[in-house]
Amino acid sequence: MTQKFEIKPATISDVPLILSFIKDLAEYEKLAHEVVATEAILKKTLFGDNIHAEVIFGYLDDNPVAFALYFHNFSTFLGRPGIYLEDLFVKPEARGNGIGKKMLAYLANLAISRNCGRLEWWVLDWNETAINFYKRIGAKPMDEWTVFRVTDRELEVLAKS
């Protein structure tokens, strides 16, 4: 029996599901202790007056099995926006069915329709399964770049300098 796969944009009523996927992803990445997002925060930042990101879900036979959270960035060199994929997560029981590729294809089509110059994301160094998958679909690692981040106390100190 063929299973039906469908991608749908999230709505405000999906906030509990979004948070559930975020927690599942954090658990998978061994970063559950870093999740401080709440339903209230997600309602405000994803569906409030100043939207910061968008979410899509992948449904297999009407069951949510995948999610992606993304937002626009900008390439000064291209002079065009891009889409940055913050998170992509497919539930373990649904992996191996091409769902990750379908989610990325959806985002690639969205990027093209929005005249974006690129679709990009990060992947943890230890996640060889994901790295190999991304390479198979033609993604190229940006090995010559190092990511820097300022958070918490350091962010406050920098803001006051």
Pairwise CA distance, residues 75 & 86, whole Å: 17
Known active-site residue 106: no
Which of 15-23's residues contact partners 24+ apart within 8 Å by CB, and which partners?
A: 15/39, 15/42, 15/43, 15/46, 15/47, 17/57, 17/64, 17/67, 18/42, 18/46, 18/55, 18/67, 18/69, 21/64, 21/67, 21/87, 21/89, 22/69, 22/87
100 closest CA partner among 138, 67, 128? 67
| Choice among 28, 70, 106, 134 that is catalytic | 134
Tell me which residues are annotated as active site: 134
